[in-house]
């Protein structure tokens, strides 16, 4: 009969080299299955970078920005490490997250633990794990990402193995590019997959994404309502035909975009050469007007 290990058992195994080796010898499939199903919290001092890592240069400013985010939100996406021996692990993937966590001063980080030669078993365990009904959308997305990073599978190959449409795989992976606040809200089921997909369609506008997230939660908006708000913003963002030689300066366009991001809708900024002008905030109905008033009042 296969020997089962619970979460407490995994923690014990990771801290007991002899017991780990015995468990691997007795039932390696079960050990790999359990390791892929649980995230271990490892002391960062026990983790080392991989000398064979092809990436050598990491942008210091980008690392500092990620470290700042980690100080606030923690490490959302675990790193993946290979167990070398008792209390010693090596980065397989996520070295940028590992370095940023060091800068953030973390003493422990979440990690997926791999054994030395478990590639085939890992793929089987991950595919088995993704069939569980209790996983949230972010956990599913992280599993797809692991299949890509660690098993070198394409979207199409993952689709074949898990029996899902390729678009489903792609839509889940897009969630990992959302701001941390939105990922946390989705993970905590404060918003749905549909909400997150709509927010993922706003490329590069973090202010608008986070503003809409707060509005979704505060007003319990439906996915359709969010899609309509986004469509309204995008309509307002379309440039009007410019009069000859009166193109809006770059700094004014940036200000106009900030107003549009704040109000989540159509805002036009007009200014003449003397500095006079106006800001026009457009709305379609009383409900939209009330939403704008709530925004200005900080509700």
Question: Which residues are the active-site residues?
Answer: 95
The DSSP output letter for 45 is G
Handedness of CA 176, 177, 180, 182 (dihedral sign): negative
Give me the residues paired with residue 260 across strands: none
> Are the beta carbons of 82 and 115 closer than 8 angstroms?
yes
User: H or E segment at 209?
Assistant: helix 206-219
Query: Nearest 5°: phi and psi at 190?
Result: -75, -25
Backbone angles phi, psi at 232, to 5 degrees: -65, -40
* C-beta of residue 279 within 8 angstroms of C-beta of residue 269: yes
What DSSP element (H or E) covers 81?
A: strand 79-85
Closest CA to 116 of 146, 84, 89, 86: 84
Round to whole Å and give the CA distance between 54 and 40. Answer: 26
- Using the structure block, give the residue that is written with the tokens 């002899």: 18
Backbone angles phi, psi at 43, to 5 degrees: -60, 130
Asked if 154 and 140 touch (Cβ cutoff 8 Å), the reply is: no
Gap between the Cα atoms of 237 and 292, Å rounded: 17
Spatial separation of the C-alpha atoms in residues 84 and 90, rounded to whole Å: 7
Under 8 Å CB-to-CB from 94, ≥6 apart: which residues?
77, 78, 79, 80
């Amino acid at each position: 009969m296969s020997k089962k290990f619970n979460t407490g058992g995994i923690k014990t195994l990771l801290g007991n080299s002899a017991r780990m080796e015995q468990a691997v010898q007795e039932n390696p499939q079960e050990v790999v299955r359990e390791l892929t199903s649980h995230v271990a919290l490892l002391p960062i001092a026990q983790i080392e970078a991989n000398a064979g890592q092809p990436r050598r240069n990491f942008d210091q400013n980008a690392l500092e920005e990620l470290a700042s985010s980690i100080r606030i939100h923690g490490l959302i996406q675990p790193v993946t490490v290979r167990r070398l021996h008792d209390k010693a692990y090596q980065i397989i993937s996520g070295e940028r997250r590992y370095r940023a966590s060091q800068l953030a001063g973390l003493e422990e980080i979440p990690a997926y633990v791999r054994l030395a030669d478990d590639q085939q078993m890992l793929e089987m365990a991950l595919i088995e794990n993704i069939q569980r009904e209790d996983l949230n959308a972010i956990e599913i997305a992280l599993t797809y990402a692991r299949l890509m990073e660690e098993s070198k599978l394409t979207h199409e190959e993952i689709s074949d193995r898990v029996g899902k449409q390729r678009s489903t795989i792609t839509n889940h992976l897009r969630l990992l590019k959302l701001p941390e606040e939105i990922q946390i809200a989705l993970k905590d089921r404060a918003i749905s997959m549909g909400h997150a997909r709509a927010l993922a369609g706003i490329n590069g506008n973090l202010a608008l994404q986070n503003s809409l997230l707060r509005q979704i939660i505060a007003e319990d908006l439906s996915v359709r309502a969010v899609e309509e708000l986004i469509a309204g913003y995008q309509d307002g963002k379309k440039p009007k035909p410019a009069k000859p030689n009166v193109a809006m300066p770059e700094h004014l366009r940036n200000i106009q975009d900030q107003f549009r991001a704040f109000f989540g809708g159509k805002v036009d900024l007009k200014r003449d050469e003397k500095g006079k002008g106006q800001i026009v905030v457009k709305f379609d109905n009383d409900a939209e007007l009330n939403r704008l008033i709530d925004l200005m009042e900080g509700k």
